[in-house]
Structures are given as C-alpha cells and as structure tokens.
Structure 1
C-alpha cells in the first residue's frame, strides 16, 4: 500500500543509526528512533516494515504520523489515513489526533476537517487542533464558528481553546465576542495564574482599540512575563497612547528588542522621528526590524527623500539589510522616480542575493515601471523564479501606468490560466484603470467589471466605480455613468462625482458637467470646491461663456478658494552607497 512512498523516500540519505534500526526489522526499535531522531531515514525504514507485512499498532502510528507531518508528506499521511480506517484505528482518539496534526502541519485543513467529522468521539485536543489550524491559516471566521460549536458540545474547552478563539477575535476586531469569551474565562477561573491567556486578552483588547480593558487585564494578572509587558506596550503604540506606553516601558524590569521596537513604532506613528532614532541608538541589541520600522514610517508619511537618506545611514552603520529593507526603500524611490537610486538598490539586491525574492522583485517591477522603464520591469517579472499575486498585480499595474492596455490585458489573460492563483480586487482595479485611460472598447471594459462581480464575487469599491465612470464619461456615456454611481450606492461619495466631472471636462460636455457640479456642491464637500470651480471655469472658457467665467472667479474669491501654485521637485543625482 505504501510502496510508492517508500520508493520516493529511498532517495534521501540515511544516518548510521538509521541503518541499524532498519536492519533490526522491529517496531520495538523503530518507535524509539522515530521519537528520538525524527529523520527521513527512520521514516523510510518504518514504511518498509509496513510494506513487508509488519502491521503497527496505535503507538507506532502516532509517531509515524508526527514525523510524516513534520516533513509535509501529505501523500503518506493520506495513505496512513487509509491504513487507519482499514484497521479500525479511527476510534482511537490518539491516532486520529496525530493524523489531524499531520494534515494541519501539511496545510491540508480540508483533510483534517474530514477526519474530524469521522471521529466518533473527538476530545478537546481534536477540537483545539482544528480551531487553531483555521486560525493559523488566516481563516479566522471559520475557526471562530468551530469554537462556538465546541462551546455548545459536550466537550469542555480548555485554555488552548480560548487562546485560539481570542487570537481570531483580535485579528477580526470582534471586541464583543472577545469580551464574551473573557467573561467565560473568568467564570471558569482560567484567567488567574494563566499568563498565556492574560497575554491573549491584552492583545485582543489592544487590537480592538479598548485600551482601558487591556490595562485592567494587565494590572490584574498575578504573574507577568516579558510577553505580557510587550503586549501592553504594543497596545499603547497601536492606539496612539505614547505617554502611557513610555510609562509601561520605564516600569518594565528587563525590556528586550521587541519592547524597544514597539516604542520606536509608537514614536514613528506620531511622526516623531528624532525620538524614534534616539531610542534606536539607546537599544542594547538593535536588529534590522528596528531600523525598518523608522524606514517604513518615512515612506508611509510620504517623506521619500528622508527615507532614502535614512537607508543610506542604515547601510553605513553596518545594518544587515533584508528583503523588507530593500522593498521599502524601493517604494520610496518609485515615488521619487529617481533612476540612479533605483539601479543602485537593484545592484545591492543582486549582491545580497535577494533580487529573486518575491517581495524584492515585485518592488523592483513597481519601481522601474514608475520610472518609465517598462522593459526593465518586464525582464525582472519574467525572470522571477516564483511569482505570487502581488507580483502579477505589480506587472499589470506597470502596463496600466505606462498606458499599455494590450500588455495589461494579455497578462491578465495569462493570470487567469494560473492554477493556484486568481485575480483579486487590486488586479481588477489596475485592469479597469488601464481601460479608463486607454482606448479600450466600452463593452470590453464593462465585461471586466461584470466578470469581477459575477465570476470572482468581488464587491466593487469606490475606486473600481471611478475607473468605470471615467471610461463611460470619456466616451460620452455620462448619464449611464450617473446610473452606475446610484446603482452601487456611491451617490453620497464626492470621489465618484469628481471622477465623472473630470470625464465631462475631457469631453467638453458643459451640459452634463453643470448637473454633476451642482450635485457636488449639494453634497457640500469643501475639499472638492477648488476642483469643481476650476473645471467649470475652464469649460465655460472653452465655450466662450465669459460672463459665467467671471461669476465663477468672483465666487472663488469670495470663498477664499485659490488654485495651488504648481511646483516641481528635482532630486539630486549624487548617490553615495559603497556596495
């Protein structure tokens, strides 16, 4: 039954202790070896025993399943599953739990769930294994649903059940459900003396924005470890409670690197980069993550010039640059569109052997495309050894940004043929953007929009609708665009009307523009005032309606609306990083 797997395993080298184990041809020697060495050679010897007719009982099966799961041998797990069913081991909870763990370790949650459903009497370990499997795989709602089933079953949940559920609540920001779980924990007396549960509660309340509750949990904990202190400091940072975070930081007995990083993050979020850097310099053991936090802060606050300067400081300080450092600085260079810097970082990535990493390669595609170097972006994309959806989206965006609708559509069609990937909302956002800016037939554009909604079940966002509206407006279908705004519930969103007004301006359609402008003024979106009046002034001027132009300019003066003076920024080309 397991012959094919045994043949595959023979390709792996075996150690000397494995050879003696295999020659003994006995489960009494194989089982201790499996428990002790966890090696492929021992696993091969065990499979050979089964193929030779030596039938294992529950204990060898447990060890076999653990080792095969550790090595990700899904096929072997499935064959052992068949053996378990054939020889009546399904009712042995210990064996079934081991099989479930193997499936979970191998990212085969569906198989684990099927096995769970087959178990006559799953225990709390069975439930916990499946709940934690869903949570660890990012399927938080499914994990919570299973936890609620456990709560209604005859099986009594333990602290591991609650910590998995709290982790899911924190990621989904389900504060009310998290508070209900907290009440149950208190009722069962699990909270007292259980540091892990307390830490999960602090994290849950912190991520849900309930700082008072997070502090109360922390204060009432009988025992606190380093994770407890880091959790409360992180909660303060996450909720912009910088002073409170600093107070906890100074009270902490032995701050570690994680604690310092959280304080740096808190300063960065408040745009206090000077104090963030001072904390960095005071750290006993700063790592690349400490530096990356400040670098990311500069990029997120649109201080791209400062980001590149800080990256130079990182490099000159001897910080080990990782793929995250490179991808972040490439994002800042893409904003600046400075080719020499981009080429230099590319060389740096090549020297460090990080250029083929998905996150770095995707950032390089984005950077080169924003610098107008589409051919370079294409070369990087097609030479990537592995591509994820982010990489595909980056390349489709590159075509869209450079006005190459043919390239974007061809690549989208290639993406649809990929077996283990499917387009997401960002894919369609890029695709619709290129359709709105280029001469793509309207029926094709509408086809992509309908495909997104009907075939892939993606709910249109305001950005998706804006692209469709621009495409319609530029082709003179202003009234249909207005219907789209109303149909998808964006009638009170000034962004969609702004997009439509822009399309009217391109078409020089004064009649439609007057209706759209009136709607925008009715919404009272002050941020759009300048744009509305300038577009209308330009349209009236185009149609030589000088009286209306004069009236609009008077309204702008009375309202104090001034057109911002155009400006440009020139980046110096001197780059000083020694590779």
Structure 2
C-alpha cells in the first residue's frame, strides 16, 4: 500500500491497466471529464475510475470539484484508502479545495475504523494548506488525544497554523511536546517551522534561541531567522545574521530588501539590491511596490526607468505595479508606453497585466480602452471583473456597472466579493440610482453572499441615503451595523448633510462627533459648519467658528485644479 501522496503520478491500487482511449473512445479532451463523471454513477465505476486516474496522470484537469468528489466517493466505497489520500493531495495541490470536497473527506475519515497517522496528517495538512487553520488545529488536538502517535509532519502542520493565527502560547505548548518527544533534536524541518512560528508571532527571543540550539542548519533555517528579524523590525539583527550566513540566496536578499522598503529606507534597500550577485525581477519589483504602496508614484516611474536602463527583464508584476502608479498619476502617454511594452513582451493577455490596464485606462477616463481590454481577455478572474465594474463606477456609468454585475453573477466559478459590492454601492451613491436598488444590493451582499458590511460599505449607503434627504435612515444604518463609535461613518454623514445644506441634521451629527472625541482635531468639521452657517446667513456663528479656527491654526486651503498642477509641472 502506498504511504505517501505522489507529486507526479497517482497510483491505482491494482496491476490491471485500463486505457483512457478504450474507455472514452474518441471524445475530445475538453469533454473527457463530462464523459467520465456520469459513468462513475453506473455499473462500470471501477473502469471509469481507472480512466479518470489516467486523465490526471496525463495532465488533464477537471474544471471544478464535482468529478473529484465522485472519484473520492468511488475510491472510498471500494476501500482504496491509499488512492483517497493521493486524490486528496491532488485536490489541495491544484487549488480545488472547497467545502464540498472537505465535507466528503471528513466523511471518509470518520468511516475509517482505525485511521493511521498518515490519514490524520492528510486531513490536517489539507485544512492548513487551504487556509482553514482553526479546523486544522482542532483536528490536530483530536489526534493528540487519540491513541495514534503524532509524527513530525503532524507537528509542522500544527505549527504552520499557529504561525498564521499568531497563537504563540499554543505554539509554545506544541514546542514543549516536541521537545518532550525528542522530535526537535536533529530535525531541521521542525526547527525551521518553530523559527517561522515564533517569528510570525512576534516572539523574536524564542526564534533566536531555537535557531542557536539547532544542531544542523540549512539555507531555509538562515532564511527563516532573517525573515523573522525583518518582519519584526529587527533590521540590525537581521543584517548580522545575513552577514554570518554561509551562502545567502535570492530569498535572503529579498527578505532584507522588503524589510528596508517597509521601513521607508529605500537607500539601504537599493544598496542590498546592488550587492546581489544575481538579482531577479522580483528583487526590483519589491522596491517598485514599496514606492507605489507609499504613494510615491513619481519615484515609482523613475525607478521603473532605472530598471529598464539596467537591463532588467520585466515580468507581468513589474508592468502591473508601474501601471498602478501611472493610474494614480493619470499620465496617459506613460500608460500607452507600458501597454506597448506588454504587447512586445507577450504579457498583455496575462490576467494581472490586463486587470492593471483596465484600471489604468478607466482612471485616465479612457473607458472604451478599458472595455476593449476586458472583453478581449481570454480568461477573466474576479480582479478583472471588479476592475471593470470599478471603472464604470468611477466614470459614473451606473447602467453598465449594474449590467456587468448581473453578468458576473452568471459566472459558474466566480462570485462577487466585498470589493464588487463596494464598487456597486459607490456607483449607487454617486449616481441617481433608485434607493430600492441600492438597498437591494446591500441586502444581497449580506443575505446571499454572507459578506459582513465594512465601514466603507456603510459609508456608501449612508451617502446614498443622505443625498436623497433620508438623514434619519442613514443614522440608523450607522447604529444598526455597529459603527456608532466610528468617526469615519459620522464624518461621511456630516458631508452628506453639508451637500444637502441641512444645518439642523449637521448640528446633531457634530454633537455626536464631539461626544466621541472626534471634533477637537478634525479641521473638516469646522470648515463644514462654517460654510453651512454662512449659507444660512448665521453670521454670529460663522464669526465664532472662524475665531476658533484661527486659534487652532485651521486654514481653508486655496483650491488648485489638476490642470494647473500639470501646467506647473511641465514648466519645471
């Protein structure tokens, strides 16, 4: 019996051989899975199982989890435990992990009369690798209470879950058990996982101690301790370990570059990049990303130019990152240049590049170009759909935004997320979309897709309600969804009151913000109330507020248009 999950070949537990071609005949490759799946429910299930395994081994992947669930069911019904493990490994490795698959895997596991440690580990690692960390840890604790003796793979999966959930105390308890069982001694993999767990939990002293007491260290060990130092802002200690490291690799350099970039030290980041023996595009992309994330868009385009002059071969991420900077700068010639570069490199159709181009063109007001990019994409992920919906929202085209959302709902393997609804609610709040439609989207988000409203979602709904004079309803939204102590929500409501010139409602909102302690430092409140009182010719109150503004040093800035700024920039 096989005792591991094969990375390359799934082995059927019998020597009998079935040919895929003899079973499915001349059916086209794209229809093979639809042929095999119905057959699994009929009397020839074993033959179909053979054919399906051959499909997997030849690289033919199903489009969804349904065939894999059938394969697991037939394997379980015939007692092919080893094959079930291998199929489970295939499911996790190839990103097919869904609730339906795990539910069936749980059922198979529960039906096993005497599961061994490999069976336990398969399910635990499956949960952890798919991001279901709490369930993975619960199963690990259940294993710990069972008669089965856990091994190093059981502990490494549990430590990985603790690292992601930042459960340092549980991680330390697992560490104690590892020491008690003598597993830590001489086991590099376990030691590396302990360093990673302590580092991600912020327990740097423990991470260093584990590293120092390891009898053997490999490159992963050194990278783990350098990464732990970098993540916790211990840059000097990280550099010290870096200089002690026998053979630093690209991962080591990139960790340090990333740490310096996140601390805002681009000079040291570039010095480390310059000292790399073989820097790759990801090393350069780390600094480029840092500029964009720090809203230093001009520096990002300058750095991109430096990458080009240094002979760096751009990848899809280089292009998507610089496109994000160009989108915020709204420099169309630069965008066209990068688009041409993507075409030349054959990267235009890559999802990450195409999505960035959609975003860039829509932010530059070139909606037709964005549409063209979207519809010519051979494969669209949710990011691309969201980018296009956001493009319509940004350009005030509520009809097309809602039409595209309805098309997204028809997609078989995609479903709207929080960003989709954020874009929809934004377009509803800025356009004259009927209130019942806006509320319908909000309720759909909660009831159909199980998405908990964030303050951003509520702010869009508040803005939509207040702009239609429904100030009282907007206040209810703030209170009912738990944002009554959130200054951002009240600030948005105040802005809506200002737009409606509703002084009475604005005074109520300001009173609430004063109670929350938001008013003293918020210059926006003084400016809004000063303008509202002036509109209603309440000059005594205007004089009083402006006196407070002078005492606090609050000044209304002189406005300048984007066109003026561009003209000034062109003269530099």
Residue 570 (structure 1) aligned with residue 566 (structure 2): yes
Residue 306 (structure 1) aligned with residue 299 (structure 2): yes
Q: Which residue is 1:159 aligned to?
A: 152
Q: Which residue is 2:33 aligned to?
A: none
Distance 1:540 1:573 in 2: 37
Q: Deviations over 1:2-23 (max 9, x none)?
A: 777644587899xxxxxxxxxx
1:164-313, aligned counterparts within 5 Å? 164-313=157-306
Query: In the TM superposition, what is the alpha-carbon distance from 1:141 to its structure 2 partner?
Result: 3.0
Distance 1:148 1:375 in 2: 56
Q: Which residue is 1:119 aligned to?
A: 112
Distance 2:339 2:273 in 1: 27
Distance 1:527 1:370 in 2: 35
1:103-502, aligned counterparts within 5 Å? 103-105=91-93, 107=96, 109-110=101-102, 111-502=104-495
Distance 1:386 1:422 in 2: 15
Residue 97 (structure 1) aligned with residue 90 (structure 2): no
CA spacing shift, 1:82–1:446, aligned 2, 3 Å: closer
Distance 1:235 1:323 in 2: 28
CA spacing shift, 1:65–1:426, aligned 2, 3 Å: same
Q: Are the counterparts in 2 of residues 218 and 232 from structure 1 also a CA contact under 8 Å? A: yes
Distance 2:181 2:217 in 1: 20
Distance 1:342 1:304 in 2: 13
Q: Are the counterparts in 1 of residues 195 and 224 from structure 2 also a CA contact under 8 Å? A: yes
The number of residue pairs the alignment matches comes to: 531
Query: In the TM superposition, what is the alpha-carbon distance from 1:486 to its structure 2 partner?
Result: 1.2
Q: Are the counterparts in 2 of residues 69 and 103 from structure 1 also a CA contact under 8 Å? A: no
Q: Are the counterparts in 1 of residues 76 and 108 from structure 2 also a CA contact under 8 Å? A: no
Distance 1:430 1:482 in 2: 22
Distance 1:128 1:67 in 2: 26
CA spacing shift, 1:80–1:459, aligned 2, 3 Å: closer
Q: Are the counterparts in 1 of residues 514 and 520 from structure 2 also a CA contact under 8 Å? A: no
Q: Are the counterparts in 2 of residues 340 and 573 from structure 1 also a CA contact under 8 Å? A: no
Gaps of 5+ in 2: 1-16, 30-42
Q: Are the counterparts in 1 of residues 323 and 356 from structure 2 also a CA contact under 8 Å? A: yes
Query: In the TM superposition, what is the alpha-carbon distance from 1:143 to its structure 2 partner?
Result: 2.5
Distance 1:295 1:540 in 2: 47
Root-mean-square deviation (CA, aligned residues, Å) is 3.1
Q: Which residue is 2:507 aligned to?
A: 514
Q: Are the counterparts in 2 of residues 123 and 155 from structure 1 also a CA contact under 8 Å? A: yes
CA spacing shift, 1:373–1:134, aligned 2, 3 Å: same
Q: Which residue is 2:38 aligned to?
A: none
Distance 2:111 2:393 in 1: 50
Q: Are the counterparts in 2 of residues 65 and 98 from structure 1 also a CA contact under 8 Å? A: no
Query: In the TM superposition, what is the alpha-carbon distance from 1:72 to its structure 2 partner?
Result: 5.4
CA spacing shift, 1:112–1:537, aligned 2, 3 Å: same
Q: Which is worse superposed, 197-206 or 458-467?
A: 197-206
Query: In the TM superposition, what is the alpha-carbon distance from 1:202 to its structure 2 partner?
Result: 1.2
